[in-house]
Amino acid sequence: MKKLFTILTVIALTIGSIGISSARQSQSRVQAESVAGVFDYYLLALSWSPTFCLTHKDDAQCTGKGYGFVLHGLWPQYAGGGWPQSCPPLTRLSAAETNKGLTLFPTKKLLDHEWSKHGTCSGLGAMGYLDKSDQAVAAVNVPAELQPFSSSYYFEAQEIADLFRKANPGIPADGIAVICSGPQLSEVRVCMDKDLQFGACGKGVKNQCRAGDIRVPPAR
């Protein structure tokens, strides 16, 4: 019995080791295959600012900003699922690029992260990526019902998606996803082609909210 237990333990450890090794190889393969400009479409992520700041309380740049939706990022995506990230050559933003980025992103920390992880994969260069992000945000009309307000509102996730589609008739039913942080609205993500025309999302992009009403916290 003791010998059998030892054999089973060795088998379990071996399987676990293989699983970890495969996961690491898969991650390495994704990194190796991440090439700037090689992707299928963009995912525009718009964060609901009050929730972003509630979950980033250590970020001083959040204080006192009465924003509604703000740019989280413009993310190159693969239609089959997943995305490229941290595409070489990795470069830091210049002072001029940082100044431009801070007119789009709510914090410098987020700006630097988004450029490093996602912007480098656009193949547009830093200023080109920032201009593209600016154009993408401008292409989406935020519904009047979801402009900044002073008290909490409650909607179902599908209601929020429907409000965005009503305000932007070109967004298909499978071209938008609503994301929550616990019981609260966190983000709305809109899928766009490389020319920033609305289109269907790729594999894996879907609503991530609980059933029933979700809270949309007020602007701070």
Structure tokens, 188? 């709305």
CA 154 to chain centre: 22
Q: What is the pLDDT of residues 110-152, one digit of tens each?
A: 999 999 999 999 999 999 999 999 999 999 999 999 987 778 8
Beta bridge partners of 177: 189
The catalytic site residues sit at 72, 114, 118
Mean pLDDT of 147-161: 90
pLDDT of residue 140: 98
pLDDT of 61 > 90? The answer is no
From the number of C-beta atoms within 10 Å of its C-beta (0-12, 13-18, 19+), residue 14 rates as: exposed
pLDDT of 58 > 60? The answer is no
**How do 153-156 and 41-48 pair as beta strands?**
unpaired
Mean pLDDT of 92-121: 96
Q: What is the pLDDT of residues 161-192, one digit of tens each?
A: 999 999 999 999 999 999 999 999 999 999 99
Residue 14: pLDDT band by 50, 70, 90 thresholds? Answer: very low
pLDDT of 220 > 70? The answer is no
Mean pLDDT of 25-46: 76
| Beta-carbon count within 10 A of 98 CB | 17
Percent of the chain clearing pLDDT 70 (strictly above): 77
How is the chain split among helix, strand and coil, in percent rounded to 5?
40, 20, 40
Where are the chain's structural domains? 1-33, 35-216
Average pLDDT of the chain? 84
196: left (phi over 0), alpha (psi -120 to 50) or beta: left
Do the Cβ atoms of 185 and 178 come closer than 8 Å?
yes
Structure tokens, 186? 């966190």
- Alpha helices in the chain, H assignment, sequence order: 2-33, 49-54, 95-101, 108-117, 125-139, 157-167
Percent of the chain clearing pLDDT 90 (strictly above): 70
Return phi, psi of residue 178, to 5°: -110, 130
Q: Tell which residue, 4, 172, 79, 50, has the closest CA to residue 12.
A: 4
Beta bridge partners of 6: none
Q: How many residues does the chain have?
A: 220
pLDDT of 97 > 90? The answer is yes
pLDDT of residue 147: 87
Please indicate whether residue 23 or residue 207 has the higher confidence score (pLDDT). 207
- Homologous superfamily (CATH) of 35-216 is Ribonuclease T2-like (3.90.730.10)
User: Of 13-17, 178-182, 198-202, where does mean pLDDT reach its minimum?
Assistant: 13-17
Residue 155: pLDDT band by 50, 70, 90 thresholds? Answer: very high
